[in-house]
Amino acid sequence: MYLKELCKLPGVSGNEDAVRRFILSKLAGKCDSCHVDRMGNVIAFRRGNGQKKLLLAAHMDEVGLIVSSITEAGFLKFQTVGGIDPRVLVSKRVTVGPKAIPGVIGYKAVHLQDKAEREQSVRAKSLYIDIGASSKTEAERLVSPGDYCAFDSEFVLFGDDRIKAKALDDRAGCALLLDIVENGKCPYDLYCVFTVQEEVGLRGATVAAYDIRPDIAIVLEATTCSDVYGTEPKDYATVLGGGVAISLLDRSTYYDKDLVRFVRALAARHKLPVQYKQTAMGGNEGGAYQRACTGARTLALSLPARYIHSPASVISKKDYDHMHRLLYQLLQDIEQTERMG
């Protein structure tokens, strides 16, 4: 299980280098071929019977920040990369640039705010990163505009089999995919794709889709879990510990009905808990694979993640383990889907 190592690596969208190097080191000698395309996607191939192309995908990138300017006092102004609620940023630790300079996200103290400031939501443009510099000149010796900033958050096991970490979306999918390359068995030609820039518009997946042109594409993701205090059960997207979430549709994809039914039946047969994602908000790389070229039959399997797109997301290790078992069984039985419909 490479999840801990993967989550600790910085990999903000557009700057996935460290994650890519780690994945390439683990893939060496474990597939028939492996290459990095022009976008930076890692594509590992294992030869099957040649009858179909099956693509499994997980994205390497995470949400984060990018330095946009440096103030005269040495504070860093930034822009968000990917969908981040600015309210989760105040006082959080980050590492900045290739030297991993430590910093803290700051905000004007409440007793200095006027009434209007206190009543409005926190906005990213009002925040800054404090790296301990006393001037612009001092800060410029350490960082530059364009440097990426990743959350600095420990990987922690806690409570009832819970995992807390940054970047669980989607290093959890990457960890599962690495294990599939090493140990999974599939009759079809198998393409395991570790993509870039998912959080900023499915960019890596769009390129990979046109390159590979899969018959079937299965996206391994993390997704919103809102089963928390203050949320009515009717508004839950998924439930932590309730098993793998199967998507029916979202803003990017209408998932293959036969694949959805097949996975549901497969899970029941092997006594693996699954749930349907109850909302259609958001999207994932399925949209890129479904619509590329002549199209692909598409399925999304996701891990429920509380506090997603924050420095401290939470998943259930039980859900992770159940997804691992479901994937192995799905690959072995994938040919049965051709007899459905």
Whether residue 182 is contained in a domain is answered as yes
Whether residue 160 is contained in a domain is answered as no
Residues 185 and 145 in one domain: no
The domain that holds 324 is classified in CATH as 3.40.630.10
Query: Which member of 16, 62, 198, 221 is catalytic?
Result: 198
Residues 130 and 180 in one domain: no
* Single pTM value for the model: 0.94
The domain that holds 91 is classified in CATH as 2.40.30.40
Whether residue 200 is contained in a domain is answered as yes
* pLDDT at residue 283 in the model: 82
Containing structural domain, residue 278: 3-62+166-339
Among 124, 151, 178, give the residue marking a domain's end: 151
Residues 271 and 130 in one domain: no
* pLDDT at residue 282 in the model: 79
Residues 300 and 256 in one domain: yes
Total structural domains within the chain: 2
Among 123, 151, 179, give the residue marking a domain's end: 151
Residues 147 and 251 in one domain: no
Whether residue 42 is contained in a domain is answered as yes
Whether residue 331 is contained in a domain is answered as yes
* pLDDT at residue 280 in the model: 83
DSSP state of 259: H
The yes-or-no answer on residue 199 being catalytic is no
Instruction: Determine how β-strand 244-246 pairs with β-strand 274-276.
Output: parallel
Whether residue 13 is contained in a domain is answered as yes
Residues 119 and 268 in one domain: no
Residues 300 and 314 in one domain: yes
* C-alpha triplet 105, 110, 115: angle, nearest 5°: 125
- The Cα 135–Cα 139 span in angstroms is 6
- The Cα 5–Cα 164 span in angstroms is 13
SS3 per residue for 48-109: CCCCCEEEEEEECCECEEEEEEECCCCCEEEEEECCCCHHHCCCCEEEECCCCEEEEEECCC
Cα atoms in the 13 Å half-sphere on the side-chain side of 24: 14
Residues 35 and 94 in one domain: no
As averages over each run of 10 residues, the pLDDT of the chain (341 residues) reads 95 98 96 96 96 96 98 97 94 97 88 69 90 97 98 96 97 97 92 97 95 96 91 90 94 92 96 93 88 91 96 97 96 79 43
* pLDDT at residue 120 in the model: 78
* pLDDT at residue 119 in the model: 66
CB atoms within 10 A of CB 11: 27
Residues 280 and 145 in one domain: no
Whether residue 157 is contained in a domain is answered as no
Among 85, 119, 151, give the residue marking a domain's end: 151
Residues 112 and 123 in one domain: yes
The DSSP secondary structure of 162-219, one letter per residue, reads EEEES-HHHHHHHHHHHHHHHH---SSEEEEEEES--TTTSHHHHHHHHHH--SEEEE
* pLDDT at residue 341 in the model: 43
Residues 39 and 82 in one domain: no
Residues 237 and 329 in one domain: yes
